[in-house]
Every structure is written in C-alpha cells, then in structure tokens.
Structure 1
C-alpha cells in the first residue's frame, strides 16, 4: 500500500538516490535546478510516496519569483521534480504525488501562480498547465519553450525572468 508522507520526514540522502535513479546523476546541470539553487523546498507542498518503508516517489515544490520587464513581480511556485523509482513508473504514483501537491497548494492558497518544466501533453491534460502565458519568460539556462508550463489566475502573461526566491509566495 502506498502512503504519502511529508518529504521533510525522509532522509535527504534517500531522496537524492531516488532522484539519481529517476533522472540520472547529471541532473544538477539542468535549468530547473538553477531555479532551485540556494532555496529550500516548500515543506507543505513536498511529499514522499512510500511502499512500506521504501521510498518509491517524491515531489518537491519551490518558491520562485517572476521579475517582469515592466517592473511587475509575481511570486510563484515551481513544481518538481516529480520522481518515481524506474521500476514503479507507469503505475500512477507520479499522478498521486501531483494531486497531493496541488491539493496542498490549494489548501495553503499557493495555487494561483504555479509553474513547471515538463511534458505539455501530460501536465496540460491532467493538471491544467499550459504554455499559453509563458512565451515571454526567460530562465537561467536553456529550455524548450513548449515545456515551460504554468497554471493559476496570477500567472503573468508578460516578458520577464524567473529566478529563485528566498521566501514562500504569499
């Protein structure tokens, strides 16, 4: 039976091993990691999927800031990584983690400006993320524009840069 627990109750080295298995040991050079550099994950939105005492999945959410070229700033939540142990993929664990994180974001009123870098066919279909408003966004590294997705009423439809933030969006 799969149980979701707060990610901050799991040993950090176990989470790192899971991330290495799911994404490879070279994952730290990716642009999404640059958005998380020097920032702590939001505990209330970050979960671990456990099967008995074995970590089989995790999701983390991070505070980021959209700095608009016109001077408008928008605090946002960066969703991801969503990691599932390779031998457990395609079993709905990632979807379970996403649903839990989005529900927590709603409960904490942090769901009005969320973003991620991911597969648009999956995240649009099941979770309402789209690239509709992200065309003018810049990130601290390369990315495929069609994979830069967002959802929520306060997602800016402007040009600007997304950066790590030190505080949780209010």
Structure 2
C-alpha cells in the first residue's frame, strides 16, 4: 500500500469511493453539516493506493471549532470520512490511513491539530487511536448523533459546553 496526498486523486474517484463505502445518501449525515463551506485540510487528507495503483481508501480532515457557551472559541479538526473500498475493508487500510494522518497531525503546528474530533465507533477509535468521549459531553452538533460516538483526542480538546461548527 502506498499513501499519497488526497489532492493527487481526481475528485470524481474520491466521490465514487465515498458512495461505495457509505452509500449515496451519505450527504444527509451530521458530519457533512459540520464541514459545510470548508475545504479539506490538504496536509491531513490522504489516499491509499493498492499494489496495482488503484484507490483503496481515503481520509479527509476538516477545520471546525467549538464555539463555547462562555464566548470562547477553540479550533479543532474533524477527522473523516475514513473510506475504504468495500472489498478491502478489515484489511488495515483505514487503520494505516488514520495512523499516518495522526503522525502528520502530531508533528504539525496547524490550528486544531491538538484537538481532533470525530463521530465513530468508540471501541475502535479508543482502542487504536486514544479517542474518547471524556470531554465531549457538553458539545452540540448541527444534526442528530449518538452522544457516545462523539469522540476527541489531543492535549487541547475543549471540555466546555458549546456548539461544534465549521471553522472559517
């Protein structure tokens, strides 16, 4: 498997993979509302190519913020979607993409890299990548979500109440 910048992949191929991985109704999900009007963070958005050069998976990261009820704002990064070609799921592609993105984020000084968030399986993302719901109990999202699946990781994850929204 080769990891390359997602920007090297034609957007139509990425969209087709997302449709295969998540269905064509995926745009109705709350995560899409969180990234509305933003552009994926190029340094943290990656693609995995299989041994034949085909697109095996992608990860995208987006600028968001917590607008606290106390008037503060905290930059964060929304991780996802992590999409893997259905035939390749459970083969380590998503885990490798996540590990590579986290290594880049941990070495970066981009705003929000010390406060990553996602909506996902707490057992998986907690076990392998140290994401927890410990600080997210007071966060509000612009759509439905399961509270236990709202996860965060990093030394600057805000723990107060507030709304998670796109970061301009």
TM tier, smaller: over 0.9
For 1:23 and 1:37, the matched residues in 2 are separated by: 18
Q: Which runs of 5+ in 1 are unaligned?
A: none
Partner of 1:95: 95
Partner of 2:119: 117
For 1:18 and 1:126, the matched residues in 2 are separated by: 24
For 2:53 and 2:158, the matched residues in 1 are separated by: 41
TM-score normalized by the length of structure 1: 0.95
For 2:59 and 2:75, the matched residues in 1 are separated by: 20
Tell me the number of residue pairs that the alignment of Structure 1 and Structure 2 aligns.
165
Partner of 1:144: 146
Q: Give the superposition deviation at 1:69.
A: 0.0
Task: State the Cα RMSD in Å.
Answer: 0.8
Q: Give the superposition deviation at 1:150.
A: 0.3
Partner of 2:13: 14
Secondary structure of the residue aligned to 1:48 is strand
Partner of 2:28: 29
